[in-house]
């Protein structure tokens, strides 16, 4: 599992007058994957990415499925 947080420090007067919902300019992201060795040189890594963001219209969650195919070349 991996997690990241992003903070965007917009605090100008013009920005505050346009976006008056009082959001925090915060974005979070976490991922989870498992690794499955299909052959000696190929692996499959299914998982997910969960993201949250404070947008001008309010907070919103997103859940994305992720499938990575990893091929080792030697």
Measured between alpha carbons, how far is 2 from 49 in angstroms, rounded to an integer?
10
Closest CA to 10 of 40, 54, 45: 54
pTM over cut 0.95: no
Residue 15's H or E segment, with its range, is helix 13-18
Q: Where exactly are the structural domains of the chain? A: 2-71
Q: What is the pLDDT along the chain (74 residues), one digit of tens a residue?
A: 666 777 666 666 666 666 555 556 678 888 888 989 999 899 999 999 998 887 767 788 999 999 999 898 87
Query: What per-residue confidence (pLDDT) applies to 57?
Result: 74
């Amino acid at each position: 599992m991996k997690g990241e947080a992003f903070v965007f420090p917009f605090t100008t007067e013009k920005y505050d007058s346009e976006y008056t919902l009082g959001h925090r300019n915060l974005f979070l992201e976490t991922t989870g994957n498992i690794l499955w060795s299909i052959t000696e040189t190929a692996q499959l890594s299914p998982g997910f990415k969960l993201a949250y963001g404070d947008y001008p219209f309010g907070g919103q969650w997103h859940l994305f499925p992720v499938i990575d195919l990893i091929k080792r070349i030697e």
